[in-house]
Amino acid sequence: MPFFDSFCAEVYMQPIFNIAREKDNHLFYKSYANDKGILQFHSQIELYFVDEGKMESWVNGHYRLLSAGEMSVSLSYDSHAYKTPEYSRSSVLIIPPHICEEFIIATKGKKATNPFICDKDTVKKIKDCYEEIKRANIGKIEQLGYIYVILGIVMEKVFLEPSTDIGDPALSSKILSYINENFKSGITPSQIASHVGYSPSYISRYFKSCFNITLTKYLTIIRLKNAIMLMHEGKHSSTYCSLESGFSSMRTFYRAFYNEFGCSPKEYLAKNE
């Protein structure tokens, strides 16, 4: 099976809001061996470097098999995922919006036409700054300087263009955080709209335009994800897992599960043990 087909088979579900990442307001950097990341999005900027081997990378519908010395760029709320086909060593730099407010303003309402940087000299310049950022004795101002050098290079290389899915980051974060904190209680789109102070019709249009998925569909996806996690634990019945995840009935759960996976929960678990 081609790399793209096998990769999409694992990440075809809609991207999930990473609430844990969203709540972490610190600069984050780390190295990995044979990494794999689910399809997700958050408000932070995420720069992913392939140091050795190869990595499959997906950003906002763009796919590339990255080699050593190449990288991907995920701006605020860009959906992204990674997978190691055989072997890789990689590094990530995640920058919260409050650290780079000027960059956030400059890129607001824009998307990268090519979210991959494959010129190895350019990636080396960025990676050199990344290594400086990690220095134990670096001062905050010097560190911020290197961050902006990196972001300046990124702006030149990813070819930003206006996007039709322009949203308000604060409103998006408020909606997504509320969903992630309350989806198990069976919240509805109307309750979500009431929480953020807008009409249901406006919030439905807003959500679809920002995230390319309906609000109802997104609620279903995160409930399925939670139910699958519980079922994999093997401690509870399907009924418990579905109701604990916010589904109103077993009939609704089974229908949603089959529509998403084309099989029953039992068949899914048998294939994915």
Structural domain boundaries, residue 240: 169-271
Average pLDDT of the residues in 230-251: 91
pLDDT in tens, 112-122: 889 999 999 99
Of 120, 138, 162, which closes a domain? 162
Q: How far is CA 153 from the centre of its chain?
A: 22
Residues 236, 152 share a domain: no
pLDDT in tens, 74-104: 998 888 999 999 999 999 999 999 999 999 8
Label residue 50 by pLDDT band (50, 70, 90): very high
Which residues does 235 contact at the CB level (< 8 Å), separation at least 6? none
Average pLDDT of the residues in 214-226: 91
Tell me the three state secondary structure of residue 42.
Answer: coil
Number of Cβ within 10 Å of residue 15's Cβ equals 23
Angle, helices 120-133 vs 140-157, to 10°: value is 160
Tell me the three state secondary structure of residue 54.
Answer: strand
Q: Locate 258 and state its tokens.
A: 């089959």
Q: Locate 149 and state its tokens.
A: 């050098």
Of 125, 146, 162, which closes a domain? 162
Distance (Å, rounded) from C-alpha 187 to C-alpha 208?
A: 18
120 phi and psi, to 5 degrees? Answer: -70, -30
Residues 121, 148 share a domain: yes
269 phi and psi, to 5 degrees? Answer: -65, -35
